[in-house]
């Protein structure tokens, strides 16, 4: 991993994001007047503004979803961090893009209203390239002149972790020298929020919005909807060494499974998630005792947190590493969470500091884990894991190790 680019509710620079999750500087707020979710939800995690015209031509910028805009900004930062220029440092046909996300649902909803009010002339000719789920990946390829394999997956909240795993697979197969991978999500609009709210999936009833996201806590009652994007640059080790690249970490292995159980509810015993954890360890060539920190998916839902805790216990047993979920500070960025949390886990690996689970005041006995709580934990570790689980029963676990082994 040679490049990291983030657009998150707690910042865009990796040190800024890491400081927030370690110090408990929460991004959770009541949506202010003028925001699309004002009066719609109790609390949200709102990302920073990104001017569409800073990454796109003016005509196209007018009808393009925020998810694409954030993805382009994160990709710019990731490639700059990697100090790599397509066409100069690498053959454009040897660069791949794997960029996931739901796509431009907000713009699609707006255009549906415009058509209802104005008829067919109310629909912009730029609508499709502004909203299709593959367009964040395509726009990155267009912006940076990337000519290799380009794809997008739709595995809900597991999509960010899956993009990292797919990138690793491409590199191992020798199909590319460099992969730009990640996920982008812009779900902060009424229709999407109401769907989660009516399903009783969102945190509610908290007088202080910063206390609403409570992973693994006995009083948790849902997740806090957030937005953001995360993009990583991964390279074949030999290619990175040959060009003298600075390396953040090694991607050692990954695992992906399906619960095969329910469209929204995880398998209660966590067996599908447990298998993804085991597969990631096996793929990385590691044992349970080698993992020094686990960044959990931990969204703050009753069923999800309990199932993940069961999975972690079943795999690690007495060798359980320190565990935390950083969504108590960042909120849940859906698929983008997996990439932002991968960056957090890698920074914990590099800095020897493990972030805590914010708002974990009263751990639920059903979530009996080796929690990091009350403040960050200083610990030198050699390998870390990040979990990402999504609606539909998608489970992904990724293992990272220190650069150079």
> What amino acid positions are annotated as catalytic residues?
157, 297, 332
Token pair belonging to 272: 């599908």
Handedness of CA 262, 266, 270, 276 (dihedral sign): positive
CB atoms < 10 A from the CB of 175, how many? 13
């Amino acid at each position: 991993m040679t490049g990291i680019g983030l657009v998150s509710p707690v910042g865009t620079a990796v040190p800024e994001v890491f400081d927030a999750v370690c110090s408990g500087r929460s991004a959770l707020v009541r949506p202010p007047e003028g925001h699309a979710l004002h009066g719609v939800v109790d609390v949200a995690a709102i990302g920073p503004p990104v001017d569409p015209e800073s990454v796109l031509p003016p005509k196209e910028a007018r009808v393009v979803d925020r998810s694409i805009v954030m993805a382009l900004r994160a990709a710019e930062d990731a490639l700059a961090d990697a100090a790599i220029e397509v066409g100069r440092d690498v053959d454009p046909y040897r660069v791949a893009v794997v960029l996931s996300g739901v796509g431009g649902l907000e713009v699609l909803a707006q255009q549906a209203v415009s058509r209802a009010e104005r008829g067919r002339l109310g629909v912009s000719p730029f609508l499709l390239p502004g909203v299709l789920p593959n367009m964040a990946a395509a726009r990155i390829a267009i912006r940076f002149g990337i000519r290799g394999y380009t794809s997008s997956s739709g595995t809900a909240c597991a999509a960010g972790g899956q993009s990292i795993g797919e990138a690793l697979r491409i590199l191992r197969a020798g199909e590319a020298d460099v992969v730009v991978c990640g996920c982008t999500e812009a779900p902060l609009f009424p229709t999407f929020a109401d769907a989660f709210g009516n399903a009783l999936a969102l945190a509610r009833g908290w007088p202080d919005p910063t206390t609403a996201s409570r992973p693994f806590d006995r009083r948790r009652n849902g997740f806090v909807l957030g937005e953001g994007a995360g993009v990583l640059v991964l390279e074949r080790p030999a290619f990175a060494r040959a060009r003298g690249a600075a390396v953040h970490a090694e991607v050692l292995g990954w695992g992906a499974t399906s619960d095969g159980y329910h469209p929204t509810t995880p398998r209660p015993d966590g067996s599908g998630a447990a298998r993804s954890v085991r597969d990631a360890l096996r793929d990385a060539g590691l044992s349970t005792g080698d993992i020094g920190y686990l960044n959990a998916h931990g969204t703050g839902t009753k069923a999800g947190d309990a199932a993940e805790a069961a999975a972690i216990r079943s795999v690690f047993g007495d060798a359980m590493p320190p565990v935390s979920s950083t969504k108590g500070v960042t909120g849940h960025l859906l698929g983008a969470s997996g990439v932002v949390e991968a960056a957090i886990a890698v920074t914990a690996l590099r800095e020897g500091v493990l972030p805590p689970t914010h708002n974990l005041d009263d751990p639920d006995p059903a979530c009996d884990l080796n929690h990091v709580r009350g403040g960050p934990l200083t610990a030198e570790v050699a390998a870390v894991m990040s979990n990402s689980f999504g609606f539909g029963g998608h489970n992904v676990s990724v293992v990272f190790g220190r650069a150079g082994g």
